[in-house]
Amino acid sequence: DAAEEDLDRIVAVKKLIGPTRRLFVDANQRWNVADCMNRLQKLAAFDLGWIEEPLHAEDIRGHADLRGFVALPIAVGESLYTRHQFADYLQANAVDIVQADVCRVGGISEWLKIANLSASFHRTMAPHYMSELSVALMCAIDNADILECVHGGSFSEMGVLQAELRLENGVAFPFET
């Protein structure tokens, strides 16, 4: 069954990366609440960094229920497009880590408003996509968490920039100019 296959994959990856590195799981909105609760009970032993988009993006109540059910951080945001959608999640206590995508939310100004809104709820930001721009945005906020580097989701990989984002020992550095 799919849940057991997922668990087998997580066991294999955790064994490969060892106990000192965090593993993050993205369900890509594929689970329902009951299925998710069952899976999260099994995943709790693996000290995961987060579970990303476990439920459909419109299921705010379900995400809130999950937050109350398990200590594993819930990350949401790449499928949200407005500050108001983020506000709904934050007000419902349905998200731990906000993953606003600067391209999908309307640009830099709107992304910063979402970051400030998230900070007012004591939530951290882990921007989705556009690594070079996102790392610079993270330098402008107090509630930056982690930079998610999506394969194929950087300006350099798209051929827009010649320079690549500098990564050293798990740390991303913004361009100096």
Position 173 scores a pLDDT of 83
Model confidence, pTM: 0.90
Partners of residue 98 on adjacent β-strands = 76, 125
Considering the candidates 56, 63, 128, 151, report the single residue annotated as catalytic.
128
**Domains, the chain, with CATH or none:** 2-149 (3.20.20.120)
Spatial distance between the Cα atoms of 98 and 80, rounded to a whole number of angstroms: 10
Position 16 scores a pLDDT of 96
pLDDT tens for each residue of the chain, 177 residues long = 788 898 899 999 999 999 899 999 999 999 999 988 988 888 888 889 999 999 999 999 999 999 988 889 999 999 999 999 999 999 999 999 999 999 999 999 999 999 999 999 999 999 998 888 899 999 999 999 999 887 777 778 888 887 887 888 888 888 886
Position 177 scores a pLDDT of 67
Residue 140 token pair: 């402008």
Q: Report the alpha-carbon angle 167-6-23, nearest 5.
A: 25
Q: Respond yes or no: is residue 56 known to be catalytic.
A: no
